[in-house]
Amino acid sequence: MYASNSRAVSIAAEYLLRHNPCSRIQMAQDTGLTASIVTHTVKLMMDAGFVQDTGVTISKKKGSGRAQKLLSLNPDYTRFLGIEINIGGIHVLIMDCVGNILAQVHAGADEFSPENINETTVQLAESCIQQAGGLPAAAGLAVPGHVDQHDQFISNNPQYQYLNIQKIREKLHMPLYAENNIEVMALNEYIRNPESTPDQFLFLHIGPGMYCSQFNSSIENERDFFVGEIGHTVIDPNGPLCECGKTGCLQTYISDSWLIKKARMILENSHDTVLHSLVDSPDQITIDTIRKAYALQDPLIYRDLDNGIHKLALSLGNVLIMSNAKKLYINSALLQDPELTKRLIQEIQTQLDFIKNRRQVQIEILPFNPWRGALGAAALAEYAFLVKDSGEFYRRLLEQAGMKAL
């Protein structure tokens, strides 16, 4: 009985995360839970303060019976801590149950040494908690690499050689869930934007490297670490030597780090580039610099981006042909230029035109947000605490409702 009640709580909590507000009837119809189980589960959640009555009623059809009362999550029920560690530093925030940010802090990568990454992370988290007031129910940690089944962080970047998930968890004194930062960005879209996010989609991130999450209703706990490494798929066997040891990897044409590397070479070896009017030295070049040079139609920058966009479109077209994804999200600081995004989308769609009656795959370029990973980490904490670890959440609901487990 305990297990079945806990499972019903998990199903109802996940449904509420994606359909907020909703009615009991909607929940029963969409989840397959019986009306009596929904009634019992919702009552427990309301008694515990997790769910509240909005006071709003809806009627699907005229004369179809009683109006349906809408329920919603209580934003103040608890809060969740989100932490992202990436090449730019550490972003930490706290959000409520419906995704509102209550506090946020940040430390740039130049503000702490690699040896102090765990201590700095904990200090930022404690500062954020103090600002928001009240201890979060759980924390999520988004990392620029992989997390194995033993919660060990896996990366070949020496910048993160001292990162230790267990040490951070011990200092925070709360449940902490760790996952790849792009996977949690995808989870955040799934939870926070249900109307525009299908169950199956791709989430591509282009930054210093590249990674593509293949999201299918949830994050897979035991996926192969090679899955998603689109940046290391070979697009030209005669291309540049990549850090991985192969030649012509996609990321050598369109990732931030490689575009910046090539732009610095252009600055040092060409007198005709507009880069000289934008920066004084190679180390000042950023992705924003490259976007400006592209807008000013610098011929060498234009050539590199033109080639990179073409190869990216080829790769994404191939991925879409071999997947059941209904939508493709792209998160990139580079792809905020309307001309670049229009060209990319057109090239991808052209590759799919050979399929008669092909499915319509939406392509959305997200507005770039440096806090997206931290938001995803908080979403991971909420999803894991309420849905994946539903036994503990169920016990908490029973205790808050003044009940005992059956």
Query: Which of the listed residues 30, 46, 74 is the one where a domain comes to its end?
Result: 74
Same domain, 249 and 316: yes
Structure-token pair, residue 184: 């949690």
Structure-token pair, residue 362: 């939406």
pLDDT for position 1: 54
- Phi and psi, residue 18, nearest 5°: -95, -15
Same domain, 69 and 11: yes
Same domain, 131 and 241: no
Same domain, 283 and 347: yes
In a domain, 394, yes or no: no
337-360 confidence digits (pLDDT tens): 898 999 999 999 888 887 765 567
Same domain, 154 and 244: no
136-150 confidence digits (pLDDT tens): 999 999 999 888 888
Q: What is the DSSP letter of 329?
A: E
pLDDT for position 406: 46
- How do the pLDDT tens digits run along the chain, 406 residues long? 556 789 999 999 999 999 999 999 999 999 999 999 999 999 999 999 999 998 877 765 555 556 688 999 999 999 999 999 999 999 999 999 999 999 999 999 999 999 999 999 999 999 999 999 989 999 999 999 888 888 888 888 889 999 999 999 999 989 999 999 999 999 999 999 998 999 999 999 999 999 999 998 766 655 566 778 999 999 999 999 999 999 999 999 999 999 999 999 999 999 999 999 999 999 999 999 999 999 999 999 999 999 999 999 999 999 998 888 999 999 999 999 898 999 999 999 888 887 765 567 899 999 999 999 999 999 999 999 999 876 889 999 999 988 755 4
Burial zone of 42 (CB within 10 Å; 0-12 exposed, 13-18 middle, 19+ buried): buried
- Enclosing domain of residue 343: 229-325+334-366
Same domain, 179 and 305: no
Same domain, 260 and 344: yes
Same domain, 37 and 69: yes
pTM: 0.92
Same domain, 64 and 125: no
Grouping H, G, I as helix, E, B as strand and the rest as coil, residue 130 is helix
Query: Which of the listed residues 38, 53, 74 is the one where a domain comes to its end?
Result: 74
In a domain, 220, yes or no: no
Same domain, 108 and 147: yes
Q: What is the DSSP letter of 35?
A: H
Q: What angle do CA 25, 29, 30 make, to 5 degrees?
A: 115
Grouping H, G, I as helix, E, B as strand and the rest as coil, residue 97 is coil
Same domain, 276 and 357: yes
Look up residue 271 and give its amino acid: H
CA–CA distance, 105 with 131 (Å, rounded to integer): 9
In a domain, 208, yes or no: no
- In contact, 207 and 333? CB cutoff 8 Å: yes
- In contact, 242 and 257? CB cutoff 8 Å: no
In a domain, 389, yes or no: no
In a domain, 405, yes or no: no
Cis check for the bond before 21: say yes or no (omega within 30 of 0): yes
What is the dihedral sign for C-alpha 76, 81, 86, 91? Answer: positive
Q: Which residue has the tokens 């609901």?
A: 397
Rg of the chain (C-alpha set):
24
- In contact, 167 and 118? CB cutoff 8 Å: yes
Number of structural domains in the chain: 3
In a domain, 10, yes or no: yes
Q: What is the CATH number of the domain that holds 22?
A: 1.10.10.10
- In contact, 228 and 216? CB cutoff 8 Å: no
Q: What is the DSSP letter of 241?
A: B
Query: Which of the listed residues 23, 47, 74 is the one where a domain comes to its end?
Result: 74
Grouping H, G, I as helix, E, B as strand and the rest as coil, residue 143 is strand
Same domain, 150 and 177: yes
In a domain, 199, yes or no: no
pLDDT for position 344: 95
Burial zone of 280 (CB within 10 Å; 0-12 exposed, 13-18 middle, 19+ buried): exposed
Q: What is the CATH number of the domain that holds 150?
A: 3.30.420.40
In a domain, 401, yes or no: no
Q: Cβ contacts of residue 288 below 8 Å, gap of 6+?
A: 333
